[in-house]
Amino acid sequence: MDPALLATSTAAALVLGVLMGVALTVPARRRVERELRATRTDLAALRDRVDELASATGHGPLAGTDRAEPDFVITSLPEVPRRAAGPPLGQVVDGDQPSRRDFASVALAESALRLASLAYGVRRALSPENRNRMRFEMGREVKRARQERRREAKEARRQQRAGYPVSPASRAEDAA
């Protein structure tokens, strides 16, 4: 093959791959951003509801709000001091838009997780135990279907001898 043609086709395939990758990540990014906004609004509503329930029961504000003296309630969690290094990779704390690095981390982690689960499922489906079980079940099903056909043919012959009309499908089975 001509080296110039090979280089051109390789470059075209690479550009096409990059374009497809970009086209596939844009909807995923939008979906992740929508889910992030929805989660934040749900969290705000949940906080309001918890504060409302806490004030209705007379407990006052929960731990984590501005309070001088801690109240020891079994259902509350202790506050964990935040690390100085910032949030873990892939988690956005303040700010509406996740950074490119965070988005790439989440997208790659999700893709890797899907790929790993698919590989696990395929490996498990093709294991010797499952193949043996499938072969056994298929044999049972073939045997059951064969017995059912014999029963239907026997019943059709019995009805024909008794003078009942027989359908064309049952006549074909009877001939077999």
Q: Which string of DSSP letters, residue by residue, matches 47-113?
A: HHHHHHHHHHHT--SPBTBS-SS----TT-----PPPTT-SPTT---SSSS--HHHHHHHHHHHHHH
Please check whether residue 72 lies inside any domain of the structure: no
Q: What is the mean pLDDT of the chain?
A: 77
Report the C-alpha gap between 67 and 46 in whole angstroms: 20
pTM of the predicted protein model: 0.30
Please check whether residue 45 lies inside any domain of the structure: no
Domain span at residue 154?
130-175
For residue 114, what are its two tokens?
């899907």
Please check whether residue 66 lies inside any domain of the structure: no
Provide the pLDDT confidence category of residue 63 given band limits of 50, 70 and 90: low
Domains contained in the chain, number = 1
Please check whether residue 50 lies inside any domain of the structure: no
Please check whether residue 5 lies inside any domain of the structure: no
What's the confidence (pLDDT) of residue 21?
77
Task: Dump pLDDT digits (tens) for 128-172.
Answer: 999 999 999 999 999 999 999 999 999 999 988 888 765 666 566
Task: Dump pLDDT digits (tens) for 14-41.
Answer: 888 877 777 777 777 888 888 889 998 9
